[in-house]
Amino acid sequence: MNAWNKFWKWYENKILGSIVIIAIIQFIQIPHMVWNADLYLQTGHISRLHPVLDWLLYGVDLIEIVSIINVGMIMYSLIKKRRAQKVEIQKQSK
């Protein structure tokens, strides 16, 4: 088994952990959305209080990249698994 197949076999066993990571990232988005709405409405209740707080809440957008990659990997893994199952079923029916 080559390294690519070993990686996907390992990853398929860890999909639940990946989903937990995605959920955490999505929950972190809640304060970011409130902060972003405050920026657009220019109320100043949350935004522009402190530059570090603004930087952290703005930076939450960047961790979405991890979530997007993770979802893509899960989809690829599931598609690959289903294709393998279809091939197996076709071999058994012959």
Minimal CA–CA distance to 75: which of 2, 19, 6? 19
In terms of phi and psi (left: phi > 0; alpha: psi -120 to 50; beta: otherwise), the region of 2 is beta
Q: What is the Cα–Cα distance from 76 to 85, expressed in whole angstroms?
A: 14
Residuewise pLDDT in 10s, the chain (94 residues) = 799 889 988 888 888 888 888 888 888 888 888 888 888 778 877 777 788 888 887 777 788 888 888 889 989 988 988 898 888 888 888 7
pTM: 0.64
Minimal CA–CA distance to 35: which of 10, 54, 15? 54
Q: What is the Cα–Cα distance from 92 to 90, expressed in whole angstroms?
A: 5
